[in-house]
Amino acid sequence: MSAPLDDGALASLVSEALLGIEAQEHLSGLDELASRLRGKDSPFILARRSLGQIEDLEERKAAGARVGAALEQLSAAVEERRAALMVLERAAQLEADRLDLTELVPRSVRVPLGRGQTHLVTQTRRSLEEVFVAMGFVVHEGPEVETDWYNFEALNIPPGHPARDMYDTMYVDLGLPETVLLRTHTSPTQIHLLEAAVAHGTLPVHAVMPGRCYRLDTPDARHLPVFHQIEGLVVDKGITFGDLAGVIETFTAAYFGPEIHSRLRPAYFPFTEPSAEFEITCTICHGEGCRTCSRTGWIELGGCGMVDPAVFEAVGIDPAEYSGFAFGFGIDRCAQMRHGIADMRALVENDLRFARQL
Ligand code: DAH
């Protein structure tokens, strides 16, 4: 057994141990050191055990008291360090748990979410508008909920007219004296525009009017019950059918490309006279003839014609003074033709495999 420590040796062991306690950075290290200081190999414990070797009673008591005081001093220092480390570790834990919601996460660790994009119909509407704006047209929008007057009567489709058959839609009960319905085409916007032009004295008009339309159609490869049209209207003095044909051809080449042409075929619409259907070179076979165009090489895009005098009269314009042409065609149909979409229902099915290609 080693000899009991003298004063100097004990003091230097104490200060060495105190430095060791202060140097601890973590609670686990501190606990380890504390148990080593109280363990059977600790110089303090060895010293206490060897107290019995001191023969003089007073001296033995005094030495015992010094070793006891040293151990107490060390355990007080351990407790003090423990309290300080607990404060530090708690603060570090809080810092680690903190969420900084303003923090910019570097691109490399971001979960790729995809950026999204405008719908193909919106893209198509915008590029159609661009083509017409470049040709000198302005863009107007009209309401999707219309009265019978705007959707039919002012367009020369009186109640009971057979043309109403192809424009079946949803009717809205607002408790009003007029019949209110979801518009079946963008042509009623012509009436709003002409009424405003008469009221404000802003004739002539050169406008295109895009928007959503509704019909009680069963969805199939070429029809949707909710669809989009773009309407065109030019009203001025001395407008002829030649102007109409020129605008349609210019538009067709500008939008579909110079190898795609237009042609007009006689048709009937109550609001134009004469009326025509306009067709473009089939964009699938470029006029060769294929299944999509029923081997004709042509695809119907919309209707057009010279504004019927009855329409001018409905809005208070003198048909002897003004003439004009109108046209209307499907925006969805344009998207279908330009992007070779076999089935139009793909536009509304939200299948990401389709949407991501656009
Ligand atoms: N509104 C017609 C339809 O949806 C299309 C149309 C035909 C519009 C001739 C016109 C036009 O402006 O002149 O069936």
Pocket test for ligand 1, best of 234, 243, 304 (most atoms within 8 A of CB): 304
* pLDDT above 50 for 1: no
- Tell me what percent of the residues of the chain surpass a pLDDT of 90: 70
What whole-number distance in Å separates Cα of residue 311 and Cα of residue 157? 10
Strand (E) positions, the chain?
Answer: 138-139, 145-147, 171-172, 180-182, 205-214, 226-236, 262-269, 272-281, 298-307, 323-330
Element (H, E) at 200: helix 188-200
What is the tens place of the pLDDT at every residue in 15-27?
999 999 999 999 9
What is the tens place of the pLDDT at every residue in 74-93?
999 999 999 999 999 888 88
What pTM was estimated for this model as a whole? Answer: 0.70
What whole-number distance in Å separates Cα of residue 288 and Cα of residue 296? 8
Nearest CA to ligand 1 atom 8: 328
Which residues, at least 6 apart from 235, have a Cβ–Cβ distance to it below 8 Å?
A: 194, 197, 203, 204, 205, 307, 317, 322, 323, 324
Query: Pocket residues for ligand 1 (CB within 6 Å)?
Result: 185, 187, 231, 269, 272, 302-305, 326-328
Query: What is the per-residue pLDDT for 106?
Result: 74
What whole-number distance in Å separates Cα of residue 235 and Cα of residue 321? 10
Give me the phi and psi of 194, to 5 degrees please. Answer: -65, -40
* pLDDT above 90 for 5: no
At 142, list the tokens: 């009209």
* pLDDT above 50 for 37: yes
pLDDT, average across residues 262-282: 97
Query: What is the per-residue pLDDT for 111?
Result: 67
Count CB atoms within 10 A of the CB of residue 68: 13
Q: What is the band of 318 on the pLDDT scale with cuts at 50, 70, 90?
A: very high
Which residues, at least 6 apart from 70, have a Cβ–Cβ distance to it below 8 Å?
A: 10, 13, 14, 44
Instruction: Give the residue among 324, 329, 185 at the shortest CA–CA distance from 255.
Output: 329
* pLDDT above 60 for 35: yes
Query: What is the per-residue pLDDT for 276?
Result: 98
What is the tens place of the pLDDT at every residue in 95-138?
888 777 777 777 777 666 777 889 999 999 999 999 999 999 99
Ligand 1 atom with minimal separation from the 185 CA: 4
